[in-house]
Structure 1
Amino acid sequence: MRITTEILPQRQVALIIEVDPERVEKAMRQVARRFAEQFDIPGFRRGKAPYEVVIRTFGREVIFEEAVEALSQEVYREALDQMGLDPYGPGRLERVDPEPLTFRVIVPLKPEIRLGDYRALRLPYEPPEPTEEEVMEVLERLRRDNAIIEPLSEGVAEPGMMVTVALRATDAEGKTVLEDELSFVLGQEKPPLPGLEERILGMALNETRAFELSWPGDEARVLQVEATLTGLSRYLLPDLDDALAQTVGDFETLEDLKAKIREDLAAHKRRQYDAEYAERALEALVDQAEVEFPPQMLEEEIDDLVRDLENSLERRGGDLETYLKERNQTLEELREEFRPQAERRIRRGLVLYQLAREEGLAVPEEAVAQEAQALRQRIQVSEEAWMQLQPEISSSIRSRLLARQALERLTAIARGEVEAAAAPVVEEARAPETEA
């Protein structure tokens, strides 16, 4: 058996495997013997027909094709061993030449990821602090939450009052497009129809008015509106003082309340900023990394995205066929639409995978078992079903936790908290999963 290789783009290699004629002949004789044992051949007991008779009975081409089928798998495995290849997935038989018998097989190789000097990656870390305006916005919300509402039996709508309005709006064809009863504070809360507030001002309790208003976002579309003031209340806001602070929580003074608001706002802003910072760090690492992977990997990722869409549609009572018809789209066009997203997911996942390897990160099995057990309690499945699901679930949990670790390490590197030095490398790690 002679083997030559041809390096192809996108982490693929072509194996050209030429099989010795003697081996082909031996394989054909094995096929002929099997045929003689399986089929009745006139003049011979099963298994006793000579090779030449079997060839004449079934045809040399049929016996040759069966031998080629058997040899293709056999010589492919031998070629992989001989060339020291560890493929990403199954090879693809591209061509078979009969004389001499030669197979051309496209072998997808495992991805190759080069992160470069990732320990030198730096991004400015400047989490924002809450402004005085944001603190006051929270205080105003607290005032509104603790406002005193005093219903009135008579009077007219004035700024600062809470009004309840029964609305009915129709379009030019007389079709009702809005029919509801709304409550809002004049001058403080915006009603759904622009201009409604101005029309309500000065209305007496139980008064009805008819007027025209433009449809929100479309001034050319005029609505005929009928509004009745069905409720009117004084809306008394508490003062911004120590009494308010003592009302809303365990605070002695208004300054204590403000300090707590600032602390909570700062923590919220920090969480948001940290998530955005981690995303920017990952994008920066992906941009500088060199990532190659076989086309087969991309197609499998697209398969996952299509399955995710199918599952989502089924949960909402739909199906993929109807979805494609509504969009006037074929499955092939949908797969092409998903291709950039799938490629992005692969690159991000592989980069995190490689970072985890080079940083020597690992997930404690106790953490995996703990999350798996918590999930089992939530989904309430039988022991038998859980035994079947557990390996895949544990693998997914392990991958997700490893991705989280890798992202945390990357964030620390970008902030300058990890020195730019050689990092340990572990031999095996599972590629982390990332969100789209």
Structure 2
Amino acid sequence: MKSSFKKLPGSQIELEVELDQKEFEPYWKEAHEKAFKSVDIKGFRPGAAPKELAEKAVDQEKVFSEAANRAVRITLDEVAQDNSWTIIDAPKIELTDAQLGLKYKGTLTLFPEVKLGNYKKIAKKVFGEKKEVKAEAAEIDKTIEWVRNSRAKQTLVNRAAKAGDLVETDVETLIEGKPVEGAQLKGDKFILGDSRLMPGFDKQLENHSAGEKLEFSITAPADYWHKEIRGKKVDFKVNLISVFERELPEVNEEFVKGLGKFTSVEELKKSIADGLIKEKSEKEGERLRIKTLEEIIKDADMDIPEVMIEKTLEGMVADAQAMMKAQRLPADRQGLKEEDVRNSLKDRARNNVATNLVIYKISETENLKPTEEEVQAEVDILTGRMERSVNPKQYYNYAFGLVQNRKVFEFLAKQ
């Protein structure tokens, strides 16, 4: 067997393989014998017909096709093994000659070779930039204020609404007389001045009482999140159902005791500070991990196959669509078509693939492959959090990835 190849962009290979007549003959004989034994001629049992009659009944094109397919499959595996290739997509095969033996061309997509730079030096530099984290007094006060708001006493009042009140409303949203999908609200409650609806909306409800029906228009800002509404005149019809006055509790010992095992305001503040520091530390660690990977990827050499990016992108688009469906937010409400969603995620998909390739390569180079015990322990943790019965095997690959990532990042952080 003769073979030759040349490299193409995207970790693809253009391969040419040639089998002479002697090399191809065993494949043809095997296919022919199989076809010969399965010939069905009226009046004879299968395989019992005279050789001359059976030979005439054999479909020679089918014999050649089966022989060629088997020859391609086996020789392709041999060439891949000889060159240490991992083929990651269905090869595109073209038979070029079958006069004396068999010749074919194939376009193969391979698992990409990843050449890393000095990733240890990069990791040492980046993790050396770790920032000190602390909880600021203003952040602690803001958290306490959020808790106070969540525990505010609400009293139904018969007066005009003002900023800070909780209001209950029905809202119709229209553009040029047509309802805006996803923007029709029934019994929606929000704090006046903090509704996060269109800027200027809350102001229109101030100084109005329960039972009033309001109609007004607002021009959407040029940078409004809904692309198709930007700069347009939006009409609102609001039924103000009820108004609630909110009374925030005082921050004292009685208040903090109602939040848990706290005996003083200072104890609550310390607990909040500890939580903020933990959260900030986790975010700082994530920032360093992301930056380290970004720098390692920049310094690495790899030619990522388009099929890997596309498969990753398909998964990301499916996740985005599932999230929008769960939130009852169709893509068109965000001013995005599926094609727009794909385009917006393409770069991230490419980066995700590059990240996984780099982590895999470091794991392989530094012998950080997860053990069966480590993966099983992670699977037990994941499935233990499930409220319903699940098959642990479904989480094996995910758990393997989590453990591998953790081991690689722990290694990099120690440089």
TM-score, structure 2 normalization: 0.68
Separation in 2 of the partners of 1:259 and 1:147?
Answer: 23
- The structure 2 residue matched to 1:380, chosen from 378, 389, 392, is 389
- 1-side partners of 2:74 and 2:110: how far apart? 19
CA distance in 2: counterparts of 1:344 and 1:14, whole angstroms: 26
1:401-420 alignment, distance < 5 Å: 401-410=403-412, 412=413, 418-419=414-415
Task: Label 1:303 to 1:39 Cα distance change in 2 as closer, same or farther (>3 A).
Answer: farther
Are 2:210 and 1:199 equivalent residues in the alignment?
no
Change over 3 Å in CA distance of 1:260–1:327 after alignment to 2: closer
1:9 alignment partner in structure 2: 9
Equivalents in 1 of 2:162, 2:2: separation in Å?
92
Instruction: Answer yes or no: is the 8 Å Cα contact 2:220–2:234 preserved in 1.
Output: no
Rate the CA distance shift 1:127–1:106 in 2: closer, same or farther, 3 A: same
**Residue 114 (structure 1) aligned with residue 115 (structure 2):** yes
Which residue number in structure 2 is paired with residue 394 of structure 1? 396
Equivalenced residue count is 385
Partner of 2:224: none
Q: 1:140 to 1:7 in 2, by over 3 A?
A: closer
Distance (Å, rounded) in 2 between the aligned partners of 1:178 and 1:316: 14
1:115-174 deviations in Å (ceiling 9; x for gaps): 21011112222254333322222343455566677888x9x77989x7566767778979
Alignment gaps of 5+ in structure 1: 413-417, 420-436
Aligned to 1:98: 98
Q: What's 1:290 paired with?
A: 301
**Is 1:136 the equivalent of 2:162?**
no
Q: Does 1:262 align with 2:273?
A: yes
Task: Show the counterpart of 1:346.
Answer: 353
- SS of the equivalent of 1:17 reads strand
Q: SS of the counterpart of 1:285?
A: helix
Indicate whether 1:38 and 2:38 are aligned.
yes
Whole-Å Cα distance in 1 between the matches of residues 153 and 52 of structure 2?
A: 105
Written as runs of structure 1 = structure 2, the 5 A alignment for 1:68-107 is 68-81=68-81, 83-89=82-88, 91-100=91-100, 101-107=102-108
CA separation of 1:97 and 1:254: change in aligned 2, threshold 3 A: same
The alignment's TM-score, normalised by the length of structure 1, stands at 0.65
- Tell me, yes or no, if the aligned pair for 1:211 and 1:224 is still in contact at 8 Å: yes
Residue in structure 1 matched with residue 283 of structure 2 by the alignment: 272
CA contact (8 A) 1:113 1:291 kept: yes
Distance 1:367 1:36, change over 3 A: closer
Give, as a single letter, the amino acid of the residue that structure 1 aligns with 2:272. Answer: I
AA of the residue aligned to 2:361: Q
Amino acid at match of 2:290: E
TM-fit CA distance, 1:310: 8.4
Q: RMSD across aligned C-alpha pairs, in angstroms?
A: 5.1
Structure-2 separation of matches of 1:151 and 1:32: 89
Contact 1:36 1:48 in 2 (8 A): no
Query: Which amino acid in the other structure matches residue 95 of structure 2?
Result: R
Matches of 1:59 and 1:226, distance apart in 2:
79
2:229 aligns with: none
Give the structure with higher Rg (CA). Answer: 1
Q: Which runs of 5+ in 2 are unaligned?
A: 222-231
Distance 1:43 1:96, change over 3 A: farther
State the SS of the aligned residue for 1:106.
strand
With over 3 angstroms needed to count, the CA separation of the structure-2 counterparts of 1:108 and 1:41, relative to structure 1, is same
Instruction: Note the C-alpha offset of 1:405.
Output: 2.3
Structure 2 residue identity aligned to 1:287:
K
Q: What is the letter of the counterpart of residue 393 of structure 1?
A: Y
Structure 1 residues 120 and 294, CA, compared in 2 at 3 Å: closer, same or farther?
A: same
Tell me which residue corresponds to 1:358.
365
Asked whether the 8 Å contact 1:242–1:254 carries over to 2, the reply is yes
**Maintained 8 Å contact 1:194/1:213:** no
User: Which amino acid in structure 2 is aligned with residue 138 of structure 1?
Assistant: T
* Contact map agreement 1:194 1:214 (CA 8 A) in 2: no
What amino acid is aligned across from residue 94 of structure 1 in structure 2? E
How far the C-alpha of 1:290 sits from its partner, in A, is 1.5
Deviates more, 1:13-22 or 1:143-152: 143-152
**In structure 2, do the counterparts of structure 1 residues 87 and 159 end up closer, same or farther at CA, with 3 Å as the change threshold?**
closer
Alpha-carbon distance in structure 2 between the residues aligned to 1:353 and 1:6? 26
Conserved in 2, the CA contact under 8 Å of 1:302 and 1:339? Answer: yes
